[in-house]
């Protein structure tokens, strides 16, 4: 028999042995949960990126908050490590969970319900951003969400919550009114600023370290004559020859509250690099075109802007939602855009996508007006960067072959170093939802780190919630 087939046989043998030997026996949990709960496996809880992803031995889909409590108590009692997901997008490499652990997937908790006056909305722990914007459109109200439909609403907000409405309504964490939370001992608490100021502070910025949010109440903003349910938004496409003009204009652009801007670098269908600037203006087309006159003045080769209803604002990012593949992402927070370092990053990216297997790798910049967020003091939540960071950059190496990991790493790190070298900050800062996982804790928790560490020891001393940028606990020196 050729050597090749022997090798394949050995691989199949070990894989069979591996998957057979390592699952979590959830029989005793079956009997505890309500009959609508579902017991699945990793195929029922797919993740956006397989790079550094957790490898749970079983997946539980609890049907009620009570089921979440029972699952946590069961896992703690049986010493089964667990982590929680809603959208499954978190790409950090901080997961240590293997096949002796379980995933708690909240996808059965996706209800979104508005109050009669439409000024409050209750969002289930597993709701996706698309669930929130769809319900908002139906009910005539806007909610501050992130800009990707497939991302879990609570996941996006518990890290900070940056999106198109940041300029007008502040960060996602600023719009939280209360949270139903299952804590490390399996108890359930309604956490508000009044009932539990410490937890309310910690959850809004470092949530996954402290509990499982099974639902949360957010402020919502009724659509009316002074609050349109539409925006002027869409993609302006530029050529690489226009890159320096685009960078110069963005670096000199001051965004007012109705504005938001993102820039993506990606290869087009013909393999040509495109500079795509997505403009967003919560208002009329005329006002939007005037606000973005400097960008339009460069002369985009394509203009895909138009008046778009609330539930379609995130349509431009839909293609980035596909699950699976390897997508390590290096993120950097910045106070400004430095054209020279961005040009250097462009060269790094252009070289990366020139390698076979990396063609779909991309660079993303999000810029938001932070004035409204900055009306609140830095200590109003554990999100630490509202007064310093306004530009959020990331590079995603997208490929499938694990043997390309080392090459992806070298390009990602190079881009990150270039951005950080001109980030305009006293301390490097990375939005936790954009970070890779190899950053030190000060880079993701900033000025909040000390108080977070103290609260971690109080609320989760055994480190049950230890998969997402884990804060140190008593047992872990």
Ligand X SMILES: *[C@@H]1O[C@H](CO)[C@@H](O)[C@H](O)[C@H]1NC(C)=O
Question: If you count them, how many residues does the chain have?
Answer: 477
State the Cα–Cα distance between residues 84 and 184, nearest whole angstrom: 12
106 or 162: CB nearest ligand X: 106
State the Cα–Cα distance between residues 352 and 328, nearest whole angstrom: 13
336: left (phi over 0), alpha (psi -120 to 50) or beta: beta
25 or 474: CB nearest ligand X: 25
152 or 234: CB nearest ligand X: 152
CB 202, min distance to ligand X, A: 28
64 or 413: CB nearest ligand X: 64
126 or 328: CB nearest ligand X: 126
State the Cα–Cα distance between residues 218 and 172, nearest whole angstrom: 8
Encode 282-295 in three state secondary structure.
CCCHHHHHHHCHHH
CB 299, min distance to ligand X, A: 15
147 or 209: CB nearest ligand X: 147
61 or 204: CB nearest ligand X: 61
252 or 410: CB nearest ligand X: 252
Comparing CA positions, the residue from 346, 333, 186, 381 lying closest to residue 275 is: 346
Burial (CB count within 10 angstroms: exposed 0-12, middle 13-18, buried 19+), residue 57: buried
Estimate to the nearest angstrom the gap between the alpha carbon of 10 and the chain centroid: 39
User: Buried (b) or exposed (e) across 139-175, using 16+ Cβ within 10 A?
Assistant: bebbbbbbbbbbbbbbbbbbbbbbbbbbbbbbbbbbb
Give me the sheet containing 38-40, strands edge to edge. 38-40, 58-61, 102-105, 82-85
CB 444, min distance to ligand X, A: 29
136 or 207: CB nearest ligand X: 136
Give me the sheet containing 212-219, strands edge to edge. 112-114, 120-124, 212-219, 176-182, 188-192
Comparing CA positions, the residue from 45, 30, 141, 40 lying closest to residue 86 is: 45
Comparing CA positions, the residue from 132, 56, 111 lying closest to residue 88 is: 56
DSSP 227: B
CB 343, min distance to ligand X, A: 15
Residue 180 contacts residue 190 (beta carbons within 8 Å): yes
Q: Which residue ranges make up the site for ligand X (CB under 6 A)?
A: 41-43, 110-111, 128, 130-131, 252
CB 406, min distance to ligand X, A: 27
């Amino acid at each position: 028999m050729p050597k090749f087939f022997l090798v394949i046989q050995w691989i199949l043998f070990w894989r069979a042995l591996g998957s057979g030997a390592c699952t979590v026996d959830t029989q005793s949990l079956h009997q505890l949960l309500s009959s609508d709960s579902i017991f699945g496996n990793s195929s029922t809880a797919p993740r956006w990126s397989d790079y550094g992803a957790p490898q749970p031995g079983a997946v539980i889909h609890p049907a009620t908050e009570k089921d979440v409590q029972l699952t946590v108590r069961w896992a703690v009692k049986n010493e089964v490590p667990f982590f929680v997901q809603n959208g499954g997008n978190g790409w950090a490499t901080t997961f240590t969970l293997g096949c002796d652990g379980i995933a708690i997937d909240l996808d059965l908790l996706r209800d979104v319900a508005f109050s009669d006056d439409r000024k409050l909305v209750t969002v289930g722990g597993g709701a996706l951003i698309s669930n929130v914007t769809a319900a908002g459109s139906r009910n005539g109200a806007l909610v501050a969400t992130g800009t990707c439909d497939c991302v879990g609403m609570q996941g996006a907000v518990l890290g900070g919550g940056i999106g198109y409405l940041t300029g007008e309504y502040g960060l996602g964490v600023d719009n939280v009114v209360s949270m139903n939370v299952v804590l490390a001992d399996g108890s359930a608490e309604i956490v508000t600023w009044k009932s539990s100021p410490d937890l309310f502070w910690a959850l809004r910025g470092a949530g996954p370290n402290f509990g499982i949010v099974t639902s949360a109440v957010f402020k919502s903003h009724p659509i009316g004559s002074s609050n349109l349910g539409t925006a002027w938004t869409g993609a302006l496409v530029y050529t690489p020859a226009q890159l320096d003009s685009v960078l110069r204009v963005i670096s000199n652009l001051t965004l007012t509250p109705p504005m938001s801007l993102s820039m993506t670098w990606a290869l087009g269908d013909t393999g040509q690099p495109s500079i795509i600037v997505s403009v967003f203006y919560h208002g009329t087309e005329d006002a939007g075109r005037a606000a973005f006159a400097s960008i339009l003045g460069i002369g985009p080769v394509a203009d895909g802007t138009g008046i778009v209803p609330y539930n379609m604002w995130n349509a431009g990012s839909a293609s980035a939602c596909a699950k699976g593949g390897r997508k390590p992402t290096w993120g950097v927070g910045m106070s400004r855009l430095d054209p020279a370092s961005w040009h250097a990053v462009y060269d790094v990216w252009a070289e990366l996508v020139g390698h076979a297997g990396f063609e779909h790798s991309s660079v993303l910049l999000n810029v938001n007006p932070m004035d409204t967020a900055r009306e609140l003091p830095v200590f109003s939540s554990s999100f630490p960067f509202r007064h310093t960071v306004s530009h959020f950059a990331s590079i995603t190496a997208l490929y499938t072959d694990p043997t390309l990991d080392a090459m992806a790493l070298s390009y990602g790190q190079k881009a990150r170093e270039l951005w950080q070298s001109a980030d305009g900050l006293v301390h490097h800062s990375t939005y936790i939802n954009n970070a890779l996982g190899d950053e030190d804790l000060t880079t993701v928790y900033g000025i909040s780190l000390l108080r977070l560490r103290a609260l971690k020891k109080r609320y989760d001393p055994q480190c049950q919630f230890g998969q997402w940028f884990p804060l140190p606990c008593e047992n872990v020196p």
